[in-house]
């Protein structure tokens, strides 16, 4: 029994030493959201921050969701003609070690293609990010209202929330 225990202990120690030298990628997703869709819409976009807290690059190869037929990772780029063009990133998305990639409207984003039903504000949808190495990352995506977004004034107009920067003196009307 002593021989078996010492062999087990030696094997465990070797495994610990070997694994401590390996790079481990850790993916953390922040603020995942999408927007509600009208009944006739068959596509939607998903947005979020994807942070790699590990010490080697991480590769998101694709994604899946039960709310649509298939999912693609896209970029938006301005062409030579000045027109914004969307293109699929067929090779997926690389998240460098120690960095965060933001998926935003009019930029990098996830396309939900062939929606099976409208996305309703206030609900959540499932999304799974597939990785080249490691387990898939399951994400719960919040569905936001487009109306609430369109009614928010731009942050640069709001200042710090008070109205001290505004001229509140009475208006003089032309006579």
Supply φ then ψ for residue 150, to 5 degrees. -75, -20
What does the pLDDT look like over 17-54, one tens digit per residue? 333 333 445 899 999 999 999 999 999 999 999 999 99
pLDDT for the residue numbered 2? 53
pLDDT range class, residue 150, cuts 50, 70, 90: low
pTM of the model: 0.71
In a domain, 33, yes or no: yes
What does the pLDDT look like over 81-140, one tens digit per residue? 999 999 999 999 999 999 999 999 999 999 999 999 999 999 999 999 999 988 999 999
In total, how many domains does the chain have?
1
| Torsional class of 82: left (φ above 0), alpha (ψ -120 to 50), beta (otherwise) | left
Cα 148 from Cα 152, distance rounded (Å): 6
pLDDT for the residue numbered 90? 95
CATH of the domain at 121: 2.60.40.1890
In a domain, 7, yes or no: no
Whether the Cβ atoms of residue 124 and residue 141 lie closer than 8 Å to each other: yes
Supply φ then ψ for residue 45, to 5 degrees. -120, 150
In a domain, 158, yes or no: no
């Amino acid at each position: 029994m002593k021989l078996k225990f010492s062999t087990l202990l030696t094997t465990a120690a070797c495994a610990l030493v070997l694994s401590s030298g390996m790079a481990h990628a850790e993916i953390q997703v922040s603020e995942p959201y999408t927007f509600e869709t009208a009944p006739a819409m068959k596509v939607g976009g998903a947005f979020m921050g994807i942070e790699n807290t590990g010490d080697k690059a991480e590769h998101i190869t694709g994604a899946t969701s039960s709310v649509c037929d298939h999912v693609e990772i896209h970029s938006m780029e301005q062409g030579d003609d000045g027109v914004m063009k969307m293109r699929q990133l067929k090779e997926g998305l690389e998240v460098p070690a120690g960095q965060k990639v933001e998926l935003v409207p009019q930029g990098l984003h996830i396309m939900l293609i062939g929606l099976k039903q409208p996305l309703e504000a206030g609900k959540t949808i499932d999304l799974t990010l597939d990785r080249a190495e490691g387990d898939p990352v399951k994400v719960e995506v919040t569905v936001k209202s487009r109306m609430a977004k369109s009614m928010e004034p731009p942050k640069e107009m709001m200042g710090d929330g008070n109205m001290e920067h505004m001229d509140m003196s009475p208006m003089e009307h032309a006579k």
